[in-house]
Amino acid sequence: MSWLTGLGLAELTLLCVVGALVFAATALVVLIVAIPPQRREGAGATATAYMTVLGSLFAILTGFLISSEYSTLRQAQNHVGVEVAGASQLAYASASLPPVDTALVQAALVRYLNAVETSEWSMLEHNPAGRSRAADELSSLSQLVFSYGPRPYAPSVTTDAMQSSLAAITESRRQRLVIATQQLPMPLFVLSVVAGLALIIGALIVALRSGPRYGLVALGIILVVGFDLSAILGISSPFAGPFITSVQPIHQLAQEISSGGYLSWLVGK
């Protein structure tokens, strides 16, 4: 499924919609051959009776999956916000150290943020269980931050704030890694596909019974099925595909720290 969820929006939509149209065309040929004209009235009445059930089932399943996957996407973005907030607090707290130490901490923090931007998303897309360069940079940052704890010239308020901020960064990153390992619930998605295909067949049987003027209704149902399935796949992976968690807040914070935005002796001038 990773290759499928990694497609762009246009490719994914085209694949699902064209797939639904091809299935509908094939099913229509089979139905024309399998259901002679004299039996279409009874078949159409039966299909009409099941259309409401199939439509409701498809709507409930796809609605639940879209809502669930979108919530996961928002959750991943929220954890990025928490991580950025923790990094900002760490940079702010480090400004209370002597200038040389402040520069060391903020440089290590920028290296970590840059590593997250350049290597973390790619790793989460292709191998969520792997280890990116950001993990090594975070380890180095942690060792540096905790090394200031026993130093007599470092105020305890400052070191405590730095360690608390680092804990927030570590926790939010861990949550992001956990989210990346979560996958689309395949049984529900397969059931949605089956319900959608059954709905298409029912619409085609009704169209055969009622005449060509109902063909547009069947076409509308086919397109809805294709678009709904593409929407589910499009938001099912927070770090791959057309809708992914934005790394822009991390990039922006790294630029602010690099430009001296968290150096008190520069900000005050």
Residue 137, class by beta-carbon neighbours within 10 Å (0-12 exposed, 13-18 middle, 19+ buried)?
A: buried
Supply the pLDDT for residue 90: 93
CB 23 within 8 A of CB 196: no
* Predicted pLDDT at 2: 59
What was the pLDDT predicted at 269?
Answer: 42
Statement: residue 109 has pLDDT above 90: yes
Tokens 């992914």 correspond to 244
The position carrying tokens 């430009």 is 259
pLDDT of residue 264: 65
Q: What confidence score (pLDDT) does residue 237 get?
A: 83
**Helices 248-258 and 40-94: crossing angle, nearest 10°?**
10
pLDDT digits 0-9 by tens, 185-243? 888 999 999 999 999 998 888 888 777 777 888 889 999 999 999 988 888 888 887 88
pLDDT score for 5: 62
Placement of tokens 């989460």 in the chain: 124
The pLDDT value recorded for residue 142 is 93
> Per-residue pLDDT averaged across 240-268, rounded?
81
Could you read off the pLDDT of 153-198 as tens digits, one per residue? 888 899 999 999 999 999 999 998 888 888 888 889 999 999 999 9
Query: Is the per-residue pLDDT at 115 higher than 70?
Result: yes
Rounded CA separation 23/60 (Å): 22
Angstrom CA distances, 114 to 135, 138, 190, stand at: 12, 11, 39
pLDDT at position 265: 54
**Is residue 143 predicted with pLDDT exceeding 70?**
yes
Does the structure show a pLDDT above 80 at 7? no
Q: What is the pLDDT, as a whole number, of residue 123?
A: 83
Q: Is the model more confident about 252 or about 238? A: 252
pLDDT bucket at 1, cuts 50 / 70 / 90: low
pLDDT at 193: 93
Alpha-carbon span 67 to 61, nearest angstrom = 10
Q: pTM for the full model? A: 0.81
Cβ burial, residue 265 (10 Å; 0-12/13-18/19+) = exposed
Per-residue pLDDT tens digits for 18-63 = 999 999 999 988 888 887 777 777 777 778 778 888 888 999 999 9
Neighbours of 134 (CB within 10 A): 21
- Residue 268: pLDDT band by 50, 70, 90 thresholds? very low
User: Closest by alpha carbon to 196, among 237, 235, 148, 230?
Assistant: 230
- Domain coordinates in residue numbering, the chain: 2-215+232-261
Q: Where are the alpha helices (DSSP H) in 35-97?
A: 40-94
